[in-house]
Amino acid sequence: MERNVTLDFIRGTAILGILLLNIFAFGLPKAAYLNPAWYGSPTLRDALTWALLDLVAQVKFLTLFALLFGAGLQMLLKRGKRWIQVRLSLLALLGFLHALLLWEGDILLAYGLVGLICWRMVRDAHDIKQLFNTGVLLYLVGVGMLVLLGLIQGDGTSRAWTPDASEVQLEQLWRHGGGAAAMQARLSMLADSLMALGVQYGWQLAGMMLLGAALMRSGWLQGRYSQRHYRRSGWLLVALGFAINLPAVAAQWWLQWDYRWCAFLLQAPREVSAPFQATGYAALAFGYWPALARLRLATAVVCVGRMALTNYLLQTLICTTLFWRIGLFMQYDRPTLLIFVPVVWTINLLFSTLWLRRFRQGPVEWLWRRLTSRFVL
């Protein structure tokens, strides 16, 4: 089957965009990922950086990647039950190893586990409308669970939101030291992530996968609509996402990132806005693709998208080496950490372009496909 180059570009954009937020998970304590006030009142530089990325990138690129993952499930249906189950099981295994041995922020385990449930729902959906509506319902259940968790929280705070000095020092020690202590810490955080997946996040992830499958089945994610349609709907969806999320960003700042409100209740508007913005980003890529396709940078991003799994893991290897092995962890604030992002992007772009000049697939994609074929036979 001929590859959809625009989808590869969107997938590459999602992988590169995810790093805009993950860089803080590598360079700062885990509490800093969502909370700019994790150590006290943030500087204006930090707060502005947080606000901008919350509007433009936070959750949006992960949501976009989930949308494309669901589209991929729709495309894989013709491979049959055994192929899909083995492929997703191997992805979940890779994600578990990634989370245990390298970085607890892994998304592959969640995608593999939820995908094992969702592919059947995609296969058994009678029509596009049913698939789309089920996706919306599941996503809203996840958002509703987030609100419910906020409502049952007390008025106190959490050490995961605002850790004390000893906890920050301990995290710094095991990240630099590695070994059994780091593995034990990552295992504990992995257990928390799996619990969150079952209680709340898994609903949203499943919803986005079904929405992606519905949009692929309808032809929308195959570029079958007019460029005018994609451009108009893209700008409208992005604007709508901004309108939903902006008041919540302002409210979090005004509340000084209070735990109960900002860790739960005010996360909900961002989660609601994310599908609109993510779908809007995809629409803009389709709408402006004839112009984008002439750019050498766009061609390189397509290569990143074709090697999405390899590049995702490559980002982990680069960032864990820089921040945990070399010792740059907790040495920079948010704006300065963003300087590292173009450097990693450049490595992703150059590596993908050079590799695909000689090979048809990325190295991890090749291994994944080979193992899937072996276990299916």
pLDDT at 249: 97
- Report how far residue 303's alpha carbon sits from residue 364's, in angstroms, rounded to the nearest whole number: 14
What are the CA-CA distances from residue 87 to residues 80, 81, 92, 118 (Å)? 11, 10, 9, 14
Do the beta carbons of residue 114 and residue 205 sit within 8 Å? yes
pLDDT at 96: 97
pTM as predicted: 0.95
pLDDT at 237: 98
Do the beta carbons of residue 121 and residue 134 sit within 8 Å? yes
Q: Is 180 exposed, middle or buried (0-12, 13-18, 19+ CB in 10 A)?
A: exposed
Q: If we measure between CA atoms, which residue out of 187, 209, 213 comes closest to residue 96?
A: 187
Phi, psi angle pair for 330, to nearest 5°: 65, 25
E strands, 278-319, in order: none
Q: If we measure between CA atoms, which residue out of 242, 210, 234 comes closest to residue 282?
A: 234
Quote the tokens at residue 349.
Answer: 């772009």
pLDDT at 7: 97
Q: What is the pLDDT along the chain (377 residues), one digit of tens a residue?
A: 567 899 999 999 999 999 999 999 999 999 999 999 999 899 999 999 999 999 999 999 999 999 999 999 999 999 999 999 999 999 999 999 999 999 999 999 999 999 999 999 999 998 999 999 999 999 999 999 999 999 987 666 788 899 999 999 999 999 999 899 999 999 999 999 999 999 999 999 999 999 999 999 999 999 999 999 999 999 999 999 999 999 999 999 999 999 989 999 999 999 999 999 999 999 999 999 999 999 999 999 999 999 999 999 999 999 999 999 999 999 999 999 999 999 999 999 999 999 999 999 999 999 999 999 999 87
Please, which residues have CB within 8 angstroms of residue 143's CB and are 6 or more apart in sequence?
A: 204, 268, 271, 272
SS3 string, 47-73, reads HHHHHHHHHHCCCHHHHHHHHHHHHHH
Looking up tokens 């500087």 gives: 43
Estimate the share of the chain in helix, then strand, then coil, as percent rounded to the nearest 5: 80, 0, 20
pLDDT at 154: 66
Ramachandran quadrant class, 223 (left: phi over 0; alpha: psi -120 to 50; beta: rest): left
- Report how far residue 257's alpha carbon sits from residue 263's, in angstroms, rounded to the nearest whole number: 8
pLDDT at 2: 60
CA torsion sign, 96 to 98 to 100 to 104? negative
Chain centroid, CA 22 distance in Å: 9
